[in-house]
Structure 1
Amino acid sequence: MGTAPATAFDTEALRRGIEGRDAAALLSLYTDDAEIRVVDRNTQPSHPKIVHGRDQVGEMLNDIYSRDMTHHLDRCVVQGDHVAFTESCEYKDGVRVLASSMVSLRGGKIARQILIQAWDE
């Protein structure tokens, strides 16, 4: 008896969604019950922002990718059911943001994500 092959994660869809600022395309990469934990200056490790489910994930992605800024997928590594990627962003006024994510997949889609981000002040 063998195990079923894992569904591959679409790294090119991730790149196109991030760099094209396409929140709907990115949302399609998440499971319906996805959870994102965000850690940054405002939501520190002991009290991260936690986003649950498709609706909240969609709201977060719409907020991020509707901003007047550039987004670039710098690196993306997939190993089995885990993905790590970094994203660099820049607002029109030159303020830069760097985000690093560690992801757990289920059926080739993002089920859990830890997002750590920092920005110029």
Structure 2
Amino acid sequence: MTTMAGTFDETRLRRGIEQRDADMLISLYNDDAEVEIVDHTNSPSNPLILRGHAEIRQTLEDVCARDMTHSLDRCVMYDDLAAYTESCRYPDGTCVLCNSMLDLENGRISRQLMVQAWDE
């Protein structure tokens, strides 16, 4: 998959998500990347904003450490944009669905908007 300024590695994204590998996932982000998260705790008017590798890594390590399965269901790319859907399932059957929109620079994530929902 080619972007205007480089190549985004969808295979690394899939492996990182499905193998719960925080190191592989953080390698896909620019050092100064920003992640905006909207969910039942963080409303659209007050989203959680993660800035830079340290904050993003902390969240990725937390998510990857959880006893759950992750699946990259769809990934589409166009120029310097990508979007994907991720499905997760805890051992008790609780499901999480996450949609992400990515801005890419030089084949790496510069900005991510993530909207996620849980079974409740």
Which TM bucket (shorter chain)?
Answer: over 0.9
SS state of the match for residue 105, structure 1? strand
Distance 1:35 1:6 in 2: 19
Query: Percent identity at matched positions?
Result: 53
Q: TM-score, normalised by structure 1?
A: 0.95
Distance 1:109 1:38 in 2: 18
1:110 aligns with 2:109: yes
Distance 1:32 1:21 in 2: 20
Q: What is the RMSD of the two structures over their aligned residues, measured on CA atoms?
A: 0.6
Tell me which residue corresponds to 2:84: 85
1:94 aligns with 2:93: yes
Distance 1:63 1:34 in 2: 18
1:101 positional shift = 0.1
Distance 2:48 2:5 in 1: 30
Distance 1:104 1:62 in 2: 22
Tell me which residue corresponds to 2:61: 62
Q: TM-score, normalised by structure 2?
A: 0.96
Tell me which residue corresponds to 1:120: 119
Aligned length: 117
1:14 positional shift = 0.3
Tell me which residue corresponds to 1:23: 22
SS state of the match for residue 65, structure 1? helix
SS state of the match for residue 85, structure 2? strand
Tell me which residue corresponds to 2:10: 11
Structure with bigger gyration radius: 1
SS state of the match for residue 26, structure 1? helix
Tell me which residue corresponds to 1:36: 35
Runs of 4+ in 1 over 6 A off after TM superposition: none
Q: Which runs of 5+ in 2 are unaligned?
A: none
Q: What one-letter code is carried by the residue in structure 2 that aligns with 1:112?
A: R
Q: Which runs of 5+ in 1 are unaligned?
A: none
1:6 positional shift = 1.9
Distance 1:73 1:117 in 2: 14
